[in-house]
Chain A
Amino acid sequence: MDPALVLEDVSVQYGPVRALDHVSLKVRPGEVHGLMGENGAGKSTLLKVLSGVVRPETGRILLNGVPQQFSRARDAIDAGVSIIYQELHLVPELSVAENLLLGHMPSRLGALNRREMLHRARKELERLGEPIDPKAKVGTLSIGQRQMLEIGKALLRDARVLAFDEPTSSLSVRETERLTHIIRQLRAEGRAIIYVTHRMNEVDELCDRVTVFRDGRHICVLEKGAGFDRNELVAAMIGRRVEDVYGYRSRALGPVQLEVDEIEGPGLRKPVSLKARKGEIVGLFGLVGAGRTELAKLLCGAVRPARGAIRVAERTLRVDSPRHAIASGIALAPEDRKQEGLVLGASVSDNVNLSCRRHQARFGLMRNLKAEREVAREYVRKLSIKTPSEETPVMNLSGGNQQKVILARYLAERIDVFVLDEPTRGVDVGARKQIYDLLFDLAEAGKTLLIISSDLAEVTGIADRVLVMRGGALVGDVPREDATPERLVRLALPN
């Protein structure tokens, strides 16, 4: 069958970094084509080329055999290529219908035809099987519903090529199932689908073929056949074999270091109490919306609890601000990179030193430039942060490396209890291993770690004990021996 989409010999250069190096890709109609690779492998850049945002130095793009010239985003859309990005591009203040038809609103002489707009939106939502009110504000929808809207937008423009960029990274189990269903439907309609993901089970479930990139180069194409060989895929992605990513290390636990007593606040349906010991790694598992992030925010003073007490090393915490929480020894490394994590325009060094530089400052005012540089270098090395230098603006880094910068900031602080919200989201396998090693180092040094994660394998792989949340309440406290994926999922799913 003739390929619906062909990329030939495409190269992209960002300053000194060669993001794509003479890469080719063929996607057939009616195929879900997986795209895998570590962070910085060039997947995002490829999507940018496809969407017309980035113009490649060499190579060309063909749709159904016809060479295309994408010089802006509009060209790609008009040619029938739609990208569903990780960070969704919707306007939260506008309604569902307005978002769906943005740029193509039905109008007569410039006057909006509201009825027609609602009608078309409703028809599209029905096709997707989404029970969403077209008049609802997008800001009130869940992430999963917003993703469906993005797909709806693409279908309204009759996109023949759809590319998904890690679409399930913030979806619940049920939303993921719905998405899988829709993607199969799109495949059956003969559309060509590119599916970027880090998750092996999704590749198994959805993809017909997988192309692996590494360091901006095309490594191989694997056919599904009887199924993908996991080890082969991982080896292709990182260029070597990794047996156990997690490398669990058991250790002796000390006395209780974190004690949470009947804490209540927004997002929690019931008061939450928990204890964690010195040197302990506690996993906090649950579906999206189970209240894990809300609990984390209460613990680190980002949101003021209505009731309850938090004690760190037997000192009761002033829970009115992150500042006091950090001073008392507890901090949250947030999940949301762009909103809560990074000062995007500032350098890697500035982001790492954001909080800890006060410790080295003379008279509390004068920066210690040497110490800051050393801290930045140390963590760039320890976490293998891929950056041209410590002075590079953090917005020039790939997503996984940005995540590591946030992590570094909190690791560099002097604290006893780390609350890490999805610490490895978007981080590739090789670098993950290093992060886990570091977490075990911290635990061995007597720190307490509370790790929020939606990745079952990760939770069961590194935690000494797993707490499970469901619907705003703590519903399970499972020791490592009993923490099987089945048990955790059973606890986390609504009855």
Chain B
Amino acid sequence: MIASPESSNDLPNSGFEARSLASKLSGSGIVIAFLILFVLLSALVPNFFTVRNVQGLLLSVSLIGCIAATMMFVLALGEVDLSVASIVAFAGVVAATVTTFAESVVLGVAAGVLAGAAVGLFNGAVVAAFRINSLIATLATMEIVRGLAYITSSGDAVIVGEPGFFEIGASSFLGLSVPIWINIVVFAIFGWLLNYSVFGRNVLAIGGNAEASRLAGLPVTRIRIVVFVLQGAVAGLAGVLLASRMSLGDPKTSIGLELGVISACVLGGVSLTGGIATISGVIVGVLIMGCVQNAMSLLNVPTFYQYLVRGAILLLAVLFDRWRRR
């Protein structure tokens, strides 16, 4: 065998290290942007950097945060799920109804999460097995599931009498309320899954090139279905937590939430065409959205103008990302 001295190892290592440092820096660009934003808001917006406000801010992003963790997987797969907001409403209504009728909080919570997972399974089956474009498939389930939420609740909010139910959302631990803790756990689980599990790598591979992944023997259909089920279950859980905080299951809640979730992911550098996602990016994306929203409320920016700001931030983030990748 002829050894080729000029082949594999001839490229200077120092160059690689320099590049990896550079890529680390540019990869954390959005994190740095967030830190600057946070410092600026703390300095300039009265009452922003107070324990009470930060607690409230975190609680307010916990809904989007949970769902963004799994939306990251859906987007990494090269798909999208528009039905999450409807699932939030539906799962909340189901949880409230079951809790009231069965007089059991455990059953109610389980029913809410399962209802979400069931919708996810349906989405996954339609997208993966029948190869329907996920934008269309979940647009349909978005409508269907919203309808189911209204039908289950007969159109009105379902008020929960069980004290155990609203204690979930109200109780706190080490100064942070339970929904925030759950959000942290969700981020931890899905961050681990993305980076340290075979499943997570497989999702990124399928999003990057589905045919290559199939030929390499990955169970592409199954993985697609599992991702949608996880998305449904987590959206269901988020819906239950929201219902618990409001102590009612509201079929009209969270309209448009899916766009907020997708925006947060895109802000965090998740590729809409699949194959690229980082958990740190998504967390920061969620926090940026939350901070800006919170600061605008503190500054009494009129609601109409808040829309402009949110849209502008999303556009700027994507432009920044584009520029960084050049």
> Contacts A339-B211, A345-B208: A366 and B196 contacting too (C-beta < 8 A)?
yes
- Which chain B positions have C-beta within 8 A of A242? 2
B95 CB, min distance to chain A CBs, angstroms? 29
CB pair A340–B215 under 8 Å, yes or no, is yes
Chain B residues with CB under 8 Å of A215's CB are 6
| Contact bitstring A409-436, B, C-beta under 8 A = 1, else 0 | 1000100000000000000001101100
CB-based contact A325/B4 at 8 Å:
no
A355-B198 CB under 8 A given contacts A342-B212, A344-B209, A434-B4 = no
Measured between C-beta atoms, what is the minimum distance from A231 to chain B in Å? 15
Is A16 on the interface with B (CB-CB < 8 A)? yes
Binds B, one of A111-119, A379-387, A487-495: A379-387
Q: B20 and A322: CB pair below 8 A?
A: no
Known: A15-B15, A16-B12, A346-B205. A355 touches B4 (CB 8 A): no
Does residue B50 face the partner (Cβ distance < 8 Å to A)? no
A residues within 8 A CB of B10?
386
Within 8 A of B (CB), among A7-40: 15-17
Instruction: Report the Cα distance A323→B199, complex, angstroms.
Output: 15
Q: Which of B266-295 contact A (CB under 8 A)?
A: 271, 275-276
Contact (Cβ within 8 A) A354 B218: yes
**CB of A308 within 8 A of chain B?**
no
Q: Does A174 contact B (CB under 8 A)?
A: no
Is A171 close to B, CB under 8 A?
A: no
Task: Report which of B1, B198, B218 forms a contact with A365, defined as CB distance below 8 A.
Answer: B198
- Cβ of A326 within 8 Å of any chain B Cβ, yes or no, is yes
CB distance from B207 to the nearest CB of A (A): 8
User: Do B4 and A384 have beta carbons less than 8 Å apart?
Assistant: yes
Contact flags (1/0) for B198-231 with A, using CB distance below 8 Å? 1101001100110111111111000000000000
Q: Are B1 and A16 in contact (CB under 8 A)?
A: no
Most chain-B CB neighbours within 10 Å: which of A331, A354, A387? A354
Q: Which residues of A contact B201 (CB under 8 A)?
A: 350, 353-354, 357, 367
A302-B214, A355-B218, A430-B7 as given contacts; A343 in contact with B16, CB under 8 Å: no
- Chain B residue nearest to A214 (CB atoms) is B6
Q: B51 at interface (Cβ–Cβ under 8 A)?
A: no
Number of B interface residues in the complex (CB < 8 A): 36
In the complex, the answer to whether A430 meets B2 with C-beta atoms within 8 Å is yes
CA–CA, A341 and B208, complex, Å: 11
A386-B11 in contact given A354-B218, A365-B198 (Cβ < 8 Å): yes
Is there an interface contact between A344 and B219, defined as CB atoms closer than 8 Å? Answer: no
Query: Is A355 in contact with B18, judged by CB distance below 8 angstroms?
Result: no
Q: Are B208 and A431 in contact (CB under 8 A)?
A: no
Cα A341 to Cα B213 with chains together (Å): 8
Interface string of A286-302 (1 = CB under 8 A from B): 00000000000000101
Which of these, A240, A300, A350, contacts B205 with CB under 8 Å?
A350
- Residue A445 at the chain B interface, CB threshold 8 Å: no
**Is A345 a contact partner of B212 (Cβ separation < 8 A)?**
no
A103 to B213 alpha-carbon distance, docked (Å): 36
Q: Report the Cα distance A322→B215, complex, angstroms.
A: 5
Please, which residues of chain A bring their CB within 8 A of the CB of B199? 365
Per the bound structure, the CA–CA distance linking A386 and B9 in Å amounts to: 7
A346 touches B208 (CB 8 A): yes
B172, CB-defined interface residue at 8 Å: no
B303 on interface, CB distance cutoff 8 Å: no
Q: Are A239 and B8 in contact (CB under 8 A)?
A: no
Partner of A354 from B1, B2, B18, B205 at Cβ < 8 Å: B205
Q: Are A357 and B198 interface neighbours, CB within 8 A?
A: yes
- A302 engages B215 (CB within 8 Å): yes
**Pair B215/A343 contact, Cβ less than 8 Å:** no
Whether, in the assembled complex, A332 has its beta carbon less than 8 Å from a beta carbon of chain B, the answer is yes
A residues less than 8 Å from B26 (CB atoms): none
Cα–Cα distance between A321 and B215 once the two chains are bound (Å): 8
How far is A165 from B8 in the complex, measured between Cα atoms in Å? 25
Chain A CB within 8 A of B19 CB: yes
Q: Which residue of A lies closest to B18 (CB)?
A: A16
Q: Looking at the assembled complex, report how far the CB atom of A333 sits from the nearest CB atom of chain B, in whole angstroms.
A: 9
Q: Is the CB of B6 within 8 A of A354?
A: no
- Determine whether the beta carbon of B11 is less than 8 Å from that of A367: no
Given the complex of chains A and B, what is the CA–CA distance between A65 and B2 in angstroms?
A: 44
Residue of B nearest to A441 (CB): B1
- The answer on a CB contact under 8 Å between A345 and B276 is yes
B171 proximal to A (CB < 8 A):
no
Instruction: Flag whether A102 is at the interface (Cβ < 8 A).
Output: no
Bound-complex Cα distance A322 to B34 (A): 44
Q: Is A430 touching B215 in the complex (CB atoms < 8 A)?
A: no
Residues of A within 8 A of B (CB): 15-17, 215, 238-240, 242, 300, 302, 321-323, 325-327, 331-332, 334, 339-346, 350, 353-355, 357-358, 361, 364-367, 369, 380-381, 384-389, 391-392, 409, 413, 430-431, 433-434, 437
* Cβ-closest 8 pairs across A and B: A16-B15, A384-B7, A343-B208, A326-B217, A355-B216, A388-B16, A323-B217, A343-B209
Q: Can you sample 10 A-B contacts with CB below 8 Å?
A: A331-B217, A340-B209, A340-B215, A342-B209, A343-B212, A355-B218, A366-B196, A367-B197, A384-B7, A386-B7
Given contacts A389-B20, A434-B2, 4 further A-B contacts (CB under 8 A): A16-B12, A340-B209, A353-B201, A354-B218
- The residues of B with any CB-CB pair to A shorter than 8 Å are 1-2, 4, 6-12, 15-16, 18-20, 196-199, 201, 204-205, 208-209, 211-219, 271, 275-276
